[in-house]
């Protein structure tokens, strides 16, 4: 099964009716080769209905996968990856639904995707930043990234950013059934596996703007689970070493 698009933006949602319409408007302003897949976890606020109306107006570009319960961010990414592979997209992107990730960065991310297997929209490199966070939230995020780099040996500065672009060729090399982390821990697991597989990984700066509408899905329990997951992942990933799988593009191509 094929699609007429080149890039699929995967947007997990749960009760994002206040934001999803504006996000879709921004994404649909991008070139027609950029399609959107909303993976909705049985939202109770009409999120899916807003997406269905957008799909009615743009049937070739807007797609909706409705799930029967709140199954979590990690499985939403995996479901989106499977959909993208089945429909032969070249690039698989992920974005948050709360407008914290600006569609205006898509062009630069996709351009970098021509020379990298995985591109991360980074808040923590030169030119990147965060708006509307208090000191407590910033310390939690920066602390999580520092621990992820130390415990898992990750090289990226922003290990927990959900604004990413994966080459479909890279995703096809991964055992998606073996990725068991949920929530934002899934982002660290995916990054760790890609790095250990020898993928070419690049970061571009983005400005992250905290949500203005709706409610954050990050709880204290989620943060605590993330810290514990780092240690579990360290043992789980110990057997995966660089070079086990060829990256989607060679390092020579990336540096050319």
User: Which among 212, 220, 214, 211 has a CA at the least distance from the CA of 44?
Assistant: 214
Which residues have a Cβ under 8 Å from the Cβ of 189 and sit 6 or more positions away? Answer: 74, 179, 180, 181, 229, 233, 237
CATH code given to domain 7-255:
3.90.550.10
CA distances, 146 to each of 126, 143, 195, 211 (Å):
17, 5, 16, 24
Buried b (16+ CB within 10 A) or exposed e, 130-142: beebeeeeeebbb
CB 247 within 8 A of CB 197: yes
Within 10 angstroms of residue 45's Cβ, the number of other Cβ atoms is: 15
CB 41 within 8 A of CB 12: yes
Q: The pTM is what?
A: 0.88
Q: Rounded CA gap, 197 and 240, in Å?
A: 7
In the chain, where the domains are located: 7-255
pLDDT tens per residue across all 256 residues of the chain: 667 789 999 999 999 999 999 999 999 999 999 999 999 999 999 999 999 999 999 999 999 999 999 999 999 999 999 999 999 999 999 999 999 999 999 999 999 999 999 999 999 999 999 998 888 888 888 888 888 899 899 999 999 999 999 999 999 999 999 998 887 889 999 999 999 999 999 999 999 998 665 455 455 565 566 667 777 787 777 766 554 444 455 444 444 4
């Amino acid at each position: 099964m094929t699609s007429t698009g080149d890039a699929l933006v995967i947007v997990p949602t749960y009760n994002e009716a206040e934001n999803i319409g504006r996000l879709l408007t921004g994404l649909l302003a991008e070139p027609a080769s950029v399609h959107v897949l909303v993976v909705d976890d049985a939202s109770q606020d009409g999120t899916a209905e807003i997406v269905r109306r957008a799909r009615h107006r743009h049937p070739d570009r807007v797609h909706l996968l409705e799930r029967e319960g709140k199954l979590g961010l990690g499985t939403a990414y995996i479901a989106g990856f499977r959909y993208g592979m089945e429909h032969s997209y070249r690039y698989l992107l992920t974005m948050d639904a709360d407008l914290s990730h600006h569609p205006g960065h898509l062009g630069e991310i996709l351009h970098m995707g021509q020379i990298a297997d995985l591109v991360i929209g980074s808040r923590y490199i030169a030119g990147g930043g965060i708006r509307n966070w208090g000191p407590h939230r910033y310390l939690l995020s920066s602390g999580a990234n520092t621990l992820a780099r130390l415990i898992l040996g990750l090289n990226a500065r922003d290990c927990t950013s959900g604004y990413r672009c994966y080459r479909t060729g890279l995703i096809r090399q991964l055992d998606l059934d073996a990725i068991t982390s949920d929530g934002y821990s899934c982002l660290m697991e995916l990054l760790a596996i890609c790095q250990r597989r020898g993928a070419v990984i690049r970061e571009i700066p983005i400005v992250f703007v905290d949500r203005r509408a709706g409610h954050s899905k990050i709880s204290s329990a989620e943060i605590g689970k993330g810290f514990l997951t780092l240690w579990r992942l360290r043992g789980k990933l110990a057997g995966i070493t660089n070079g086990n799988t060829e990256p989607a593009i060679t390092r020579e191509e990336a540096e050319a």
